[in-house]
Amino acid sequence: MEPLPIIVRALAFAADKHRDQRRKDREASPYINHPIQLMSVLCNEVGITDREVLCGAILHDTVEDTQTTVDELVQHFGQTIARIVDEVTDDQNLSRPERKQKQIDHAATISEGAKLVKLADKICNLRDLNVAPPDGWDTERKREYYDWAKAVVDQLRGTHARLEALFDASYAKRP
């Protein structure tokens, strides 16, 4: 199967699933911009062209933030892509502190593809905190997020040197 058609299908799927969602920044930017940024970091900034990883990036928040199920992703995109998304999806039945700790605890055990998506997600989130933070986040909350993101990424070290360098450059701008 050619990579471009499945990536375009994943983008259309994610755009539909996130169509009514907005980011928490002051401008309430369209949520779909976030998965597109992940794909751009992976593809345009570090040269990753693996279709499963790029689709995983585009779809990474569909299960967590929409009514999408892992089974639905399997039906539309196959087991590998669905597994990547599942591995980076937080269990919404856990409390926020439990979810955050679980990300740290399990980051080292997820698949290579999921690690790449997780790294891109943390890079994009830190970049967004610098230019368009969630409305109402003070400096302390931003610092807490930066430090938690670093704790997650520290468990991913050795996965992809260029992505890790991009994360470190973003982390260096910690408020």
Tell me, yes or no, if 91 is annotated catalytic: no
- Among 50, 65, 72, 164, the one annotated catalytic: 65
- Among 25, 50, 64, 164, the one annotated catalytic: 64
3-state secondary structure of 30: strand
Q: How far apart are CA 77 and CA 6, in angstroms?
A: 7
Tell me, yes or no, if 2 is annotated catalytic: no
Q: How far apart are CA 168 and CA 123, in angstroms?
A: 9
What is each CA distance from 38 to 1, 31, 58, 71, 161, in whole angstroms? 23, 12, 7, 23, 17
CA angle 168, 169, 175 (to 5 degrees): 95
Q: Which residues are catalytic?
A: 64-65
